[in-house]
């Protein structure tokens, strides 16, 4: 696992990075030409992708509001991506200003941007870490400074697990994180799928990126929630998880599942 100090040479801008592609598709500016080209290629292969990433972001916002309204006061966001306002801590603080958030991402550029944005906030921390090494994430001193694992935690794994291959054991990573959480904690998870259209061409775009895209079926995504109890409406396409506005056109084509679940024991 990488440490928080890094050299400029370690920042790879020669290949697209998933976080920067996502930022570009959301209309952000923290990306490079290589990410923009990949994003345009992705949109050509999967025409619904731009509404899909916006719907995924809206799902994240609704889910954060739900868990904070339920009493959770600390959030561990792994695979946070580039800062996009409103950020998780901003969403949470609308409901409860005392919520603490630890952001974790494996891209040094993400960490640098987030640190610059959040440097004045004592209720947040930014950690350069990798979901593939969950124990190192949980034990990181800056995570421990922000998160008390004796109290309920909302674990956010939003649009990140599909960048792990089966060989990288994503289910085991989620299980290790689950086991670090006390009862009353939540898992907020979204994941790309090919259930609604053939997205092999979209997957091919990521073959040139720093991480591949590994689409999984509904049943495969549901297994990530083992040890948790899904709350209503269960696992759903992200526009249809407790919508607070009319879902956008073409929502039934969006290849993202999302769900929120509670750890009861």
Condensed to tens digits (0 to 9), the pLDDT of residues 154-177 reads 999 999 999 999 999 999 999 999
Per-residue confidence (pLDDT) for residue 258, from 0 to 100:
98
Per-residue confidence (pLDDT) for residue 90, from 0 to 100:
93
**Lookup result for tokens 């599909």:** 162
Compute the C-alpha angle 257/259/262, nearest 5°: 160
pLDDT at 5 over 80: no
Q: Which SS3 state, helix, strand or coil, does residue 251 take?
A: helix
Per-residue confidence (pLDDT) for residue 6, from 0 to 100:
36
CB atoms within 10 A of CB 233: 11
CB atoms within 10 A of CB 204: 14
Over residues 100-119, mean pLDDT: 81
Listed in sequence order, the residues at least 6 apart from 79 whose beta carbon sits closer than 8 Å to its beta carbon are 19, 104, 105, 106, 131, 156, 157, 158, 159, 160, 163
CA nearest to 77, candidates 237, 189, 224, 214: 189
Per-residue confidence (pLDDT) for residue 107, from 0 to 100:
82
Over residues 246-257, mean pLDDT: 94
Over residues 65-83, mean pLDDT: 95
Q: pTM of the predicted model, to two decimals?
A: 0.93
Q: Model confidence over 177-208: pLDDT tens digits?
A: 999 999 999 999 999 999 999 999 999 999 99
CA dist., res. 80 & res. 159, Å (int): 9
Instruction: Retrieve residue 214's tokens.
Output: 């590994």
Instruction: Judge if the upstream peptide bond of residue 102 is cis by omega within 30 degrees of 0.
Output: no
Instruction: Retrieve residue 42's tokens.
Output: 């992705």
Per-residue confidence (pLDDT) for residue 10, from 0 to 100:
57
Instruction: Judge if the upstream peptide bond of residue 161 is cis by omega within 30 degrees of 0.
Output: no
CB 151 within 8 A of CB 185: no
CA dist., res. 204 & res. 265, Å (int): 41
Q: Model confidence over 9-49: pLDDT tens digits?
A: 456 788 999 989 999 999 998 899 999 999 999 999 999 99
For residue 4, name the pLDDT band (cuts at 50, 70, 90). Answer: very low
CA dist., res. 59 & res. 188, Å (int): 10
pLDDT at 150 over 70: yes
Q: Which helix (H) or strand (E) holds 59?
A: helix 49-69
């Amino acid at each position: 696992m990488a440490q928080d100090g890094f050299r400029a040479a370690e920042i790879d801008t020669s290949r697209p990075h998933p976080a920067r592609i996502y930022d570009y598709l959301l209309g952000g500016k923290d990306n490079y030409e290589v990410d923009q080209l990949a994003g345009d290629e992705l949109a050509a292969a999967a025409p619904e992708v731009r509404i899909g990433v916006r719907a995924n972001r809206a799902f994240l916002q609704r889910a954060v509001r739900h868990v904070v309204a339920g009493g959770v006061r600390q959030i561990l966001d792994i695979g946070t991506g580039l800062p996009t306002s409103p950020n998780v801590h901003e969403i949470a603080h609308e409901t409860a200003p005392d919520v603490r958030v630890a952001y974790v991402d494996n891209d040094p550029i993400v960490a640098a941007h987030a640190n610059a944005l959040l440097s004045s906030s004592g209720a947040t921390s930014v950690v350069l870490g990798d979901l593939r090494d969950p124990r190192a994430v949980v034990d990181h001193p800056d995570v421990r400074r922000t998160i008390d694992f004796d109290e309920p935690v909302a674990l956010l794994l939003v649009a990140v697990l599909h960048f792990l291959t089966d060989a990288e054991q994503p289910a085991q990573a989620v299980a290790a994180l689950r086991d670090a959480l006390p009862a009353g904690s939540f898992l907020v998870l979204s994941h790309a799928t090919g259930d609604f259209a053939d997205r092999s061409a979209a997957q091919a775009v990521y073959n040139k990126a720093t991480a591949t895209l590994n689409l999984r079926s509904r049943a495969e995504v549901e297994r990530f929630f083992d040890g948790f109890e899904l709350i209503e409406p269960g696992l759903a396409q992200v526009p249809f998880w407790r919508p607070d506005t009319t879902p956008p056109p073409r929502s039934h084509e969006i290849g993202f599942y999302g769900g929120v679940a509670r750890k009861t024991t």
